[in-house]
Amino acid sequence: MSGIVNVLISTYNGEKYIRQQIRSIQRQTYPDIRIYVRDDGSSDRTVQILEEYAEKEEITLIRSDGVNIGYGRSFLKLLRAAEEGDFWAFCDQDDVWHPSKVEWSLEWLSIQGEGIPALVGNSYVLTTEDLRMVIGTNRPPSYRFDFRRSITDCLYQGFVMTINAPLRELMLKCDDTHLISHDWWGVMLAEKFGRSYFDSRIAAKHRRLDASVSVMTLGNRFRWLKQTFLTGNSSIKASAKEYERLFGSVMQDRDARIAHWFTHDSYHLADSLKKAFYPGRWRPSMSSEIVLRFLMLTGKI
């Protein structure tokens, strides 16, 4: 097991916990790690903290001139900037990694066949902000996950995803202005063109912050419903449209037809009904399934 692992961190007003996260990366049991950080327009002291690490050559700081472009585009720019390497791990600014996280990820990734796009996702615990109390655990699903489900369900959260060079190459075919979520994009491509693996070992502590956008509580699901219904913007539609733009003409199969259902800019009755009344599940949670099918029926997704 060998190769350079690039850890990619996009920060935004992360002064409170960024040092702790960087320490947890520096304490990994795997030796050959390089850290790339891009700040997405912070207004606190995050950039000053990062500059301290950059001056000591502990990280590579990607300058953004204070421009906020959103987390998905920011991570894709990091992915493009970290050119030399064998594996790329996405990382949140306020989590804490288990010392063996990188090593565990590479156990599976390093034995995949040459040229096969591959992604590994780690299990994690959701904690209170002070890390003292575990309030949830994310582990491998009991259901079968495939490309169809990846269109509407980002099974592998970005902050515990590690990819190999073939998947990086596929991901960077995109126009990053077309996408909202880098992780959703990577999961779709891995499911369609390669392989993915969900490691059951707990590899990270993920803080539940008041402003967290990754915690899908019931209240957040209905806030998501309201926002998507009013704006029509979603990672689901964005990723499906970019998939069709890049691969639709050469992948004339069932997956391409299903992905096409999610690409319409205006209401399409037939495809809205196909999505909303599809016999298979889209999401594991019933509340999320109900919200999603309503948005499908109304043409918002």
Alpha-carbon distance 98 to 87, whole Å? 18
What pLDDT is stored for residue 216 in this prediction?
Answer: 43
Q: Where are the domains of the chain?
A: 5-207, 218-297
What pLDDT is stored for residue 248 in this prediction?
Answer: 87
Beta strands in 190-229 (DSSP E): 195-207
Could you report the per-residue pLDDT of 73-92, keeping only the tens digit for each?
Answer: 999 999 999 999 999 999 99
What pLDDT is stored for residue 251 in this prediction?
Answer: 79
Q: Are 49 and 18 in contact (CB under 8 A)?
A: yes
Long-range Cβ pairs for the range 109-116 (8 Å, 24+): 109/162, 109/163, 109/164, 110/1, 110/2, 110/3, 112/164, 112/194, 112/195, 115/166, 116/164, 116/166, 116/194, 116/195
Q: Are 105 and 200 in contact (CB under 8 A)?
A: no
Q: Are 88 and 9 in contact (CB under 8 A)?
A: no
Helices (H) and strands (E) in the chain, counts: 12, 9
What pLDDT is stored for residue 212 in this prediction?
Answer: 43
What pLDDT is stored for residue 233 in this prediction?
Answer: 65
Q: How far is CA 102 from the centre of its chain?
A: 17
- Residue 163, beta-bridge partner list: 88, 119
Domain 5-207, CATH class in plain words:
alpha beta
- Flag residues of the chain having pLDDT under 70: 210-233
Distances 127 to 93, 132, 203, 206 between C-alpha atoms, Å: 15, 7, 13, 6
Q: Are 109 and 162 in contact (CB under 8 A)?
A: yes
Could you report the per-residue pLDDT of 172-226, keeping only the tens digit for each?
Answer: 999 999 999 999 999 999 999 999 999 999 999 999 875 443 444 555 555 655 5
